[in-house]
Amino acid sequence: MLRKFLPSRHVKSIYDIKPSELTAKGVKAIITDLDNTLVAWDRPDATPELLEWFKGMKEAGIKVLIVSNNNQKRVSAFSHPIDIPYIFEARKPMGRAFRQAIKLLNVKKEETVVIGDQLLTDIFGGNRSGFYTILVLPVAQTDGFWTKFNRRIERRIMNFFKRKGLIQWEENK
C-alpha cells in the first residue's frame, strides 16, 4: 500500500525538470499542482523564473494544466494572467480531476506526468490513476491548515522511504 505514495521521481524543484528530459521520454503534457509546487501557497502570481519554465515547456511542445484542490478564486487569479488551463477544487487524490485533465489536454496517460509537493494528494492521486509522478520539495516553509495536518503523515511515510533507501534527499524543514 505504501508504494502508492512513492513518486516515480523526486527532485528539489520544478526547475530541475527539463523539457528535453520529458520529451525524450515521450511526455506531451504536465498535470501540476499549484500551491507550494509552482509558487508559495500564499503568493498570488507567477515568478519570472516560473514564467520562463512555462515558456520552455511550451516551446518543447509540452502542454501544462494546473490541477488544484484550492478554490476557483485562487486558481483562476493565478492561471488566467498567464493563460494556463486549470481545474479547481479537484479533490485530489480522487481520480476524476486527473481523468478530466488528460481529456482537456487531449493526451494519453502514458504521455503525461503529474508534478506535486504532497504525497497524500498529488503523488498518491497520480499513482492511483496510473501516471508517472514527480515529487518536488515544497516551495514555502509554511502551509495552510489541512496541509499542515497532511505533512505530519507525509513525514512518517518519507522516513519509511528513507530508511528503505527509496528516497535520498532531505527535506529543508
- CATH number at 70 reads 3.40.50.1000
173 in any annotated domain: no
* pLDDT (0 to 100) of residue 57: 98
**What's the rounded Cα separation, in Å, for the pair 110 and 106?**
12
Number of domains in the chain: 1
**Is there a domain that residue 171 lies in?**
no
Cβ(80)–Cβ(115) below 8 Å: no
In a domain, 39, yes or no: yes
Strand duo 9-11 + 29-32: pairing: unpaired
Report the pLDDT value the prediction gives residue 173, as an integer from 0 to 100. Answer: 39
Low-confidence ranges of the chain (pLDDT < 70): 1, 142-146, 169-173
The residue range of the domain holding 32 is 2-163
The per-residue pLDDT for 172 is: 43
Q: Looking at the domain assignment, is residue 172 inside a domain? A: no
Identify whether 22 is part of a domain.
Answer: yes
Asked, as a colleague might, if the bond just before 93 is cis with ω within 30 of 0, I would say: yes
37, part of any domain: yes
pLDDT of residue 64: 98
> What is the reported pLDDT for 145?
66
Task: Answer yes or no: is 126 within a domain.
Answer: yes
Order of strands across the sheet that contains 29-32: 9-11, 132-136, 112-116, 29-32, 63-67, 86-87
pLDDT score recorded for residue 151: 79
pLDDT attached to residue 142: 65
